[in-house]
Structure 1
C-alpha cells in the first residue's frame, strides 16, 4: 500500500465528568484533503460493556472510495511519554455515509482502555491525554516503481574529445587556426558536414579542410555545440550579441537547427532598440520565423518604433529588405 496522508491529534479526557454509557464528545480534524472526526465515549458505547472501557470511534470523509486507512490510538503516561501498553490499532472499516462529493468510513476501537487503569497510570489533575492518528493508503497493490536511470551525460563524455589530437581523424583550418575533430561526430550532427566528410565531395578524402567566411571564435563555439549540445559561455555584452549573430549564421549554413534556435533565443533575450532592426534582417535572411515575428512585435510597439526608426540598422533594413518593410507597412496600416 502507498501512504497518501497521515494526521495525528492530541486531546484531553476529563475523567471527573460523569458520562453515561453511550455519551461522549467529538474532535474534528482536517488535513486539507480529508476530513475526519474522533468520537470518544468515556464509559463505552454498549450497555453490555458495563461502562468498564473507553471506546473510540473514528470517521473519515474522503473524496475517493479507493482509500483504506489505519487508526492508531494511545494514552500519554504521567511523565509525558507514549504508553506502549495502551497502543491500539485497527484497519477494520465500515461505511457510514455516502454523498455526491464524499465517501464516509468508520473505525471503532471498542475496548480502547479499561477505566480502572486510567487513574494509576495516565491521569494528571483529573485529565488523561489521548493521541489518535490516522494513516490513509491507496487501495490495491502498488506496482513497483521505475528503476532510477541517471540523466544522460553524453554531452559531457563527447566534450572530453574536443580538440583531442590523438583520436581525431580530420582537421579544420579556420582563420589561421587548426581545429582537430572527428568525422563521425561532425557528420552525425550536421547533414552538411555529413555530405562533405562522408560523401562524394573532395573534402571526404582531405585530412585538413579549410573553412572560409567563419572566424575562429565562431567555429570554436560551433564545435563546442557539436560535441556537447550546449552553447558556449559568453559575457552578456554587445560583443556577445554580435557573436551570437555570427553563430546564428553558421548554424543556418550547416543545418544545425537546434543551435540556430538557441542563438535566436539569445538574440531575443538581448533585444534592444539599437539591435532590433539588424536582428530582424538576420531573421528574414536566414529564415527564422520564430525570431522574425518577435522582432516585428518589438519594433511595432509604439514606445519603440519612433526610436528604432532613427537608427542606422533601420535605415539599412529599408535599403536591403524591401519585403520586410512591406510587412511593417501592413502592420502600421492595420
Structure 2
C-alpha cells in the first residue's frame, strides 16, 4: 500500500514599505498669516523617506480661495528622478507633550506621486479660528507631525524553498579599522602630531581617502622625500581622532560626542582634507540640530565651506521672526555680521519683507 506524502507548501506576499516622521513647528503664526496671501506657502526643509526627498508645504491662509478660512498642508515630492512613487501620509496636530490631538489626526489613502512636483495633502486641516481659540496655539506657535510611508514594492517568502547560499555583507571597514586600532599590527609608516598627541597611520589609506594627503605623500616636489612625520596645526586632537577613525572605517564611532560644536569642528576638518562624505554627515547633523544660539555660527560655516543644504536650513530657521530676533541677541550674530555680511543681505532679500522690524534692524547693523 502506497504511503501518502504531504507536499504542502506556503508563501506570504507582503508589501515592502519605508516610513518616517517629520515634525514641523510653526513659529510666528500670526505674523506669517498676516504677511502671506491665500495660496502662498512656506516649505519645510527637505527630508528623506524611501530614497526620495520630500518636503511639507504650509499654507497659512489656505491653498485656494474656497479654503481661505483654513490652514492647508501638503506633502511635496522633490526628487527629480522620481516617477510613480506610491505613498500615504498623515498630518497630526501635536499638543504640548508632543502627543497627537485626536480630533486633528488626518490619515490619507495611498496616492501616486507621478513625478517631481506632485503633491497631495489636506486643504482644510483646521479652521484658523479654531486653532486661535484652542490650547494648542502657545506663544503664537503650534506643532504638527507628518508621518509618511513609501511603498517600495512586493516580496514573497515561502516554505520548502530550495537551499540557498547566503553571502554576508562585506566588512572591509571592520578590517581597515582593525589596522588603525590594533597597535600590534606593523605597517604604519607616518606619524601625525596634533597638539600634544601623536597618531600613527598608513600613508596609502590616508591618500586613498583624502586628496590632500594624496598630494602631500605622492605628488609634487615631496615625492622624493615622502614625509614620515606631519604636524597639524589649528585642529584639536579630538577632532583629528574622529577624522582618522572615519577615514579607516567610513563611519564615526557610536560613542563619539554628538554635540553640535564638535560637528562644526569636524565639518571644517572634513572640508580641509576633502573627505566629502564626512562633510555631508556633519552638514546633515547640524541641519537637524539648529537652534537660536548656534544658527549664526553654523550659517557662517555653511557659507565659508560651501554647504548649500546647511545654509538653506539655517535661512529657513531664521524665516521665523521669533527665531530671528533671538539670534540677533547672541554673540554669534556679531560674528556673522563681521564674517559674512553678504549672507545678511541675502537673508533680508529672500526671507523677510522690508517693513519688518528685524529686517530694518539688520539693515541698520550693516551700515
5+ residue gaps, structure 1, are 7-137
CA distance in 2: counterparts of 1:2 and 1:283, whole angstroms: 58
> How many matched pairs?
197
Q: In the TM superposition, what is the alpha-carbon distance from 1:295 to its structure 2 partner? A: 0.8
**Segments of 4+ moved more than 3 angstroms:** 1-6, 143-147
SS in 1 for 2:193: strand
Instruction: Give the match for residue 180 of structure 2.
Output: 162
Correspondences of 1:221-300 after superposition (within 5 Å):
221-232=242-253, 233-236=255-258, 240-300=259-319
User: Cα gap change, 1:2/1:248 in structure 2, threshold over 3 Å: closer, same or farther?
Assistant: farther
Is the CA contact 1:274–1:308 (under 8 Å) kept in the aligned structure 2?
Answer: yes
Instruction: Give the match for residue 209 of structure 2.
Output: 189
Correspondences of 1:1-334 after superposition (within 5 Å):
3-4=10-11, 147-163=165-181, 164=183, 166-202=186-222, 205-232=226-253, 233-236=255-258, 240-330=259-349, 331-333=351-353
User: Cα gap change, 1:197/1:3 in structure 2, threshold over 3 Å: closer, same or farther?
Assistant: same
Instruction: Give the match for residue 63 of structure 1.
Output: none
CA distance in 2: counterparts of 1:198 and 1:326, whole angstroms: 43
TM-score, normalising length from structure 2?
A: 0.49
CA distance in 2: counterparts of 1:147 and 1:294, whole angstroms: 46
Is the CA contact 1:195–1:201 (under 8 Å) kept in the aligned structure 2?
Answer: no
Give the structure, 1 or 2, with the largest relative contact order (CA under 8 Å, sep 6 or more). 2
User: Cα gap change, 1:5/1:225 in structure 2, threshold over 3 Å: closer, same or farther?
Assistant: closer
Q: In the TM superposition, what is the alpha-carbon distance from 1:285 to its structure 2 partner? A: 0.4
TM-score, normalising length from structure 1?
A: 0.54
CA distance in 2: counterparts of 1:161 and 1:271, whole angstroms: 36
CA distance in 2: counterparts of 1:284 and 1:148, whole angstroms: 47
